[in-house]
Structure 1
């Protein structure tokens, strides 16, 4: 059974990201505030759920949440500031969009930068929780939103670039994805600061 909250008595937002290890596409993050006494036995780390279950839960989360939002950081931004900073920035962008202002933040993983509330200008207390998406409901909910919205985005890109098999691999470094990069070169959506071919080289020229 996942826990309802970490900060007793505070309006708490859970955050998680999706797409950090991908070779292509934006990184997505979500922030979710759930009701104080919320329970949903089906909620879990998005990686532990089937695709059908994730999308069904997305509808429940969006219906039940006090507030939710999704933040996006582009491949160009990832190349400029690196994926760790981009993942944290995506979470901050999600937090910025929440219609109800949180008083504290819990984050999946072990790295985060203090978030300044744009309304009050004050830094919110935050806690990073390793495997938090399997421990706290709000983080699990955020993981599901981030994953499903990023999957939607990669499925759209796959229509324009079918040779990279993004509908199946969602931009992750599968053998088929890397073979397509080797054969067709890169797209504007590839992260050029990544080792795209898995051969120790950082990037591949656009026109190869």
Structure 2
């Protein structure tokens, strides 16, 4: 019999990763849907690149192609017969042959973590959604092992177990611009959405170096996108 499953969301950074480097150099997001490992550490992965403009995606493809860890790129042809939700104004689907040792996925799967959603990489950070039947204490211990083994930085942004996980599906953060994502994440982290609020809009605006009215403009646009109203 399986133990009560634990679901967690992580923000991850690790060195020498061409995917993270692409997101650092360009204002593009990358959704990774899975991979196939071949011989000699060669891995083939499927990605959806998303951005506000096609030119940004073109620049990201150039960065990927120039990476020493990437061996080849093939562009997928989108099937327009069915409706496919677009994560950005411009998207492109790629199959990428690359050095699998630059990725951190094996460190998670080897410890029993199962990916429950595409890995979303943006702004030099990977967002992982994983499930496991390990206890919370054991989860944190295993993540510390991954951090040590890969010299990685891992932040647990949510963790729920069994019947606790009655929440709505994870927020589609890839709909947001870089600035909107930064502001929304800060607002959540500081307790802006707590009841009662742990921080005011004015305090957050001061932290961000913007006016309160500008903060409200950004946060309202972010909320509208996350709720599918924009």
Q: TM-score per shorter chain, which class?
A: under 0.3
- Give me the TM-score of the superposition, normalised by structure 2: 0.24
Specify which structure has the higher proportion of strand.
2
